């Protein structure tokens, strides 16, 4: 039996899946199997995966990434399950460093930092930990306020997934929120380990759900995750609920600013201020939306630069490798 099962959901991924598989198969730790779950692709995804003899291919009717990941989990034979989407990449040392931490610490799941890069230019856009601080140990409260676990990074003991349940396949969750929902369920019972290095690359492109999805739909999915988590853990999370909704409103407002929808972005920031009057970022963004589109874009970029600089680690960032 392999120690790790790598689950890769794929939908019309012909443009990227070969590079993803190459990065997974290039791991310095090799005790793993690869399961590609094709979620009803209509392009050449199947033909490209067939070129990789080590990849186990499963095809299913289209049901969304949560459904595809769940099929992969059920087919997994490894003690641990690792996730990477069909357009993302791994560093060669990712699994080795994470398995080392799992063995040394005894935790049931680990994750790591990641880069985001632009699909067209291949330029690094940001490092996740510089945009949203990452934590280890008992992270439930912090994770409830904001999801800081990049999707292509977790490695989770398979029996934990069986115990806590798989990805929620309901439509009201499946809008870039089903992973956050699962992380919250696991975090309520299990502390998490962190390899504090960027070991994965998250690809940003116009066809991704987060880039193409409607902000209002994504916001409603986040609200549903917050409601579910608070109802499961009322003693620990109910006191944080208003702030969690405010943080979600800020995130969606930022998305609306990037899409130049300043009027609706302003409404999001006002809602955040009402829910969490001491959340000063909401005021900063709200002020920015009053200045008009060109000034707002410059203002938001400056805010992001300052927050990243303020939260930067003392050690220098690892450079993204040339590909």
Q: Read off the pLDDT of residues 233-255 as tens digits, 9 standing for 90 and up.
A: 999 999 999 999 999 999 899 88
What pLDDT score was predicted for residue 21? Answer: 98
Rounded Cα distance, 71 and 89, in Å? 21
User: Strand 109-118 relative to strand 192-204: parallel, antiparallel, unpaired?
Assistant: parallel
Mean pLDDT of the chain: 89
Residue 71 contacts residue 43 (beta carbons within 8 Å): no
- Return the residue matching tokens 């390899």: 195
**Residue showing tokens 């595809």:** 68
Tell me whether strands 80-83 and 155-157 are parallel, antiparallel or unpaired. antiparallel
Spell out the domain ranges in the chain. Answer: 4-211, 233-310
Q: Tell whether the model's pLDDT for residue 202 goes beyond 80.
A: yes
pLDDT at 312: 44
Q: Is the pLDDT of residue 207 over 80?
A: no
Contact 80, 14 (CB under 8 A): no
Average pLDDT over residues 73-101: 97
pTM: 0.88
How many angstroms separate the CA atoms of 182 and 238, rounded? 18
CATH of 4-211, one of 2.60.120.10, 3.40.50.2000, 3.40.50.300, 3.90.550.10: 3.90.550.10
> Confidence class of residue 232 from pLDDT cuts 50, 70 and 90?
very high
CA atoms of 31 and 181, how far apart (whole Å): 29
Give the per-residue pLDDT at 315. Answer: 34
Phi, psi of 80 (to 5 degrees): -120, 155
E-strand ranges in the chain read 4-10, 32-39, 55-60, 80-83, 89-90, 109-118, 124-127, 155-157, 192-204
Distance between alpha carbon 211 and the CA centroid of its chain, in Å?
13
Instruction: Tell me which residue of 227, 216, 277 sits closest to 251, measured CA to CA.
Output: 216
Looking at residue 212, what is its pLDDT? 55
Q: Is 73 left (phi over 0), alpha (psi -120 to 50) or beta?
A: alpha
At 322, the pLDDT band (50, 70, 90 cuts) reads very low
Instruction: Calculate ∠ Cα 91-107-127, nearest 5°.
Output: 35
Give the position of tokens 């991704």: 208
Q: Is the pLDDT of residue 295 over 70?
A: no
The whole-number average pLDDT for the span 36-57 is: 97
pLDDT given for residue 283 in this prediction: 84
153 in Cβ contact with 200 (< 8 Å):
yes
Question: Could you give the maximum distance between any two Cα atoms of the chain, in Å?
Answer: 60
> Which residues is 194 bridged to in the sheet?
111
Please provide the DSSP assignment of 148-197 as one string: -S-TT--EEEHHHHHHH------TTTTTT-HHHHHHHHHHTT--EEEEEE
Range name among 29-38, 192-201, 203-212 with the lowest pLDDT average? 203-212
pLDDT at 227: 96
- Give the whole-number percent of the chain exceeding pLDDT 90: 70
């Amino acid at each position: 039996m392999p120690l790790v099962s790598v689950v890769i959901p794929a939908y019309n991924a012909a443009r990227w899946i070969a590079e993803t598989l190459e990065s997974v198969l290039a791991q310095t730790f090799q005790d793993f199997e690869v399961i590609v779950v094709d979620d009803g692709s209509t392009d050449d995804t199947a033909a490209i995966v067939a070129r990789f003899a080590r990849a186990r291919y499963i095809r299913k009717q289209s049901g969304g990434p949560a459904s595809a990941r769940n099929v992969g989990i059920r087919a997994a034979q490894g003690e641990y399950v690792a996730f990477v989407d069909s357009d993302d990449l791994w560093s060669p040392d990712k699994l080795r460093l994470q398995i080392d931490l799992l063995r040394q610490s005894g935790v049931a799941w680990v994750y790591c930092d990641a880069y985001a890069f632009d699909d067209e230019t291949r330029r690094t856009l940001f490092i996740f930990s510089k945009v949203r601080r990452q934590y280890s140990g008992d992270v439930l409260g912090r994770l409830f306020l904001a999801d800081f676990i990049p999707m292509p990074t977790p490695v989770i003991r398979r029996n934990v997934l069986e115990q806590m349940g798989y990805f929620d396949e309901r439509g009201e969750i499946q809008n870039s929120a089903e992973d956050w929902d699962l992380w919250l369920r696991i975090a309520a019972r299990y502390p998490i380990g962190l390899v504090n290095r960027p070991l994965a690359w998250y690809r940003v492109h116009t066809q991704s759900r987060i880039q193409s999805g409607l902000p209002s739909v994504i916001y409603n999915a986040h609200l549903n995750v917050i409601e579910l988590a608070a109802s499961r853990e009322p003693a620990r999370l109910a006191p944080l609920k208003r702030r969690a909704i405010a943080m979600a409103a800020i995130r969606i407002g930022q998305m609306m600013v990037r899409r130049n929808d300043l009027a609706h972005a302003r409404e999001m920031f006002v809602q955040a201020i009402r829910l969490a009057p001491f959340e000063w970022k909401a005021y900063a963004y709200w002020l920015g939306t009053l200045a008009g589109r060109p000034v707002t874009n410059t203002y938001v970029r400056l805010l992001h630069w300052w927050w990243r600089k303020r939260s930067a680690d003392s050690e220098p960032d690892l450079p993204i490798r040339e590909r």
